[in-house]
Amino acid sequence: MPKHVRLLALGAILSVSALLLTACATGGSSEPSAGPSGESPEAALASAYAGVSSEQSLIAVDFPTEVQNVAIISCPLSIPSCAASAAAVNDAVILAGWWPMVIDGGGPSGVGQAIRIAIAQAATVIVTIDANCKGLEVPYDEAALAEVPVVGLGGEDNCSPKRFASTTRWTAEHAVGKRQTMVGTLQADYVFGKTTGEVKALVLNVADDATTTKISDGFTARLTKLGAGEAIQKLALTTAEISDKSFTKKVVDAAISSGSNAIIVPEDDWLTTGGLAAALARDPETSELLVIGHGGTAAALDIIRSGGAGLTATVGQSFDWMGWGAVDAIVRLYAGAPPVFIGDAMQVVDIDHNMPETGKYTGGIDAQEKYAKLWVRATPTPTPTNDTNPNDEN
């Protein structure tokens, strides 16, 4: 019997806001020497390429004997990295032999309703993606009353008392809830290094979306620490503009009028299926700009591999690895064991660094194979038969 993903839309995900172009501040560009953090452009670039990666703790664990119905409550599926995270968990759940159910939680107000839908759909465990606990105590209590444990992937259990049965862990040095901030940090390191500290960046986000806003805030904070934070302009887009692709002209016009030398894009899909890379490549005034995205999709890496205009680099994120880590947290929850560090990789990828030969960014490992070796499955007990044992003496 095939396993189908049930996708339940929960109303409007993001409110539509007007396009806002605001300069954070004005002033001259920084010197190419080390900034307030003491890091040189060369050191920052090296940090971007090194990124974050850590081998997951190789601790074997007993695999549950009962099949699980896993409700995957995603941050807005209209945001490509949210959709990729949900798809990664979904695929890992299927390959583990369980049943997935993807529910679009939209913004924070939709997560509570998504939890109730999961309970009504007979979920045996819930995975929430990038959803904090605070403000959602009541639906989490309803899940506890229904004896449906919640595993947090990316969100923080900031309730008192705690509501999550388990939370995934990234690395010993990096909290799992800081992934989006780290995306912006690595983008800043790359741009600072590639421009030798002479940054004038146009930073894109969706004003009402937490994921893209965290990325842009992470970029701003890191660039400020490096000493070039005064050279940032933010362009807040709407989901409607991204959906109808009208945002591409707005970005091109803003890049030209602001005199930017770099464009910071929170999602690779905006550049590929959204058409932004092609639009930037077509205009002679933007075709030479440094452009960095996030995701490491196959389509984005193909553009970078070609050396063409419109996309210079991206922050590769190993969503498959992260998805398997979330399922591993469920396995350990049922085994009564604490979660281990996932260690999924995140690095800047350009034509000369961290580029896989083909396809998408994976962090250089087969996550399925890695985790399959950790899960100890019970060996079925042989069914007794009436056959005569050939070793018996008559």
Assess if residue 371 is contained within a domain: no
Last residue of a domain, one of 298, 317, 336: 317
Say yes or no to pLDDT of 324 above 60.
Answer: yes
Q: What pLDDT, on the 0 to 100 scale, is given for residue 21?
A: 33
- Going by C-alpha positions, the residue among 235, 224, 301, 225 that lies closest to residue 269 is 301
What percent of the chain clears pLDDT 70, i.e. is strictly above it? 86
Condensed to tens digits (0 to 9), the pLDDT of residues 157-209 reads 999 999 999 988 888 888 777 889 999 999 999 999 999 999 999 999 998 88
Q: Is 271 inside a domain boundary?
A: yes
Domains held by the chain: number = 2
Any idea what DSSP says for residue 120?
H
Q: Domain end: 299, 317, 335, which one?
A: 317
Q: By residue range, what is the domain housing residue 207?
A: 43-52+175-317
Examine residue 112 and state whether it is found in any structural domain, yes or no.
yes
Chain centroid, CA 219 distance in Å: 16
pLDDT score of 231 more than 80: no
Is residue 362 included in any domain, yes or no?
Answer: no
Q: Does residue 55 register a pLDDT over 80?
A: no
4: pLDDT strictly greater than 50: no
On whether both 86 and 226 belong to a single domain, the answer is no
pLDDT band at 2, cuts 50/70/90?
A: very low
Residues 187 and 313 in one domain: yes
- Does residue 22 form part of some domain? no
Answer whether residue 14 shows pLDDT above 60: no
Same domain, 182 and 260: yes
Note whether 135 and 64 are same-domain residues.
yes
Same domain, yes or no, for 65 and 154?
Answer: yes
Output the average pLDDT for the chain: 86
pLDDT at 335: 95
187/180 Cα distance (integer angstroms): 11
Same domain, 186 and 240: yes
Is residue 355, in this structure, part of any structural domain at all?
no
Whether 105 and 184 share a structural domain:
no
Give me the residue label for tokens 């899960």. Answer: 375
Segment 130-133 long-range contacts (CB within 8 Å, at least 24 positions apart): 130/75, 130/82, 130/85, 130/154, 130/155, 130/177, 130/180, 130/210, 130/211, 131/73, 131/75, 131/105, 131/155, 132/108, 132/156, 132/157, 132/158, 132/177, 133/157, 133/158, 133/159, 133/162, 133/163, 133/164
pLDDT, average across residues 68-88: 93
Within this chain, do residues 129 and 166 fall inside the same structural domain, yes or no? yes
Do 255 and 332 lie in one domain? The reply is no
Tens digit of each residue's pLDDT (9 = 90 or more) over 87-140 = 999 999 999 999 999 999 987 679 999 999 999 999 999 999 988 899 999 999
* Co-location of 222 and 324 in the same domain: no
Any idea what the CATH number is for the domain that residue 59 is in? 3.40.50.2300
* Residue of 278, 280, 247 lying closest to 263 (CA atoms): 280
Whether omega before 36 lies within 30 degrees of 0, making that bond cis, reads no
| Residue 15 burial by Cβ neighbours in a 10 Å radius (0-12, 13-18, 19+) | exposed
Convert the pLDDT of each residue in 346-393 to its tens digit.
999 999 999 999 999 999 888 888 888 899 987 654 555 554 444 554
Residues 218, 147 within the same domain: no
Same domain? 303 vs 246: yes
- Residue 345's pLDDT band (boundaries 50, 70, 90)? very high
Percentage of the chain surpassing pLDDT 90? 68
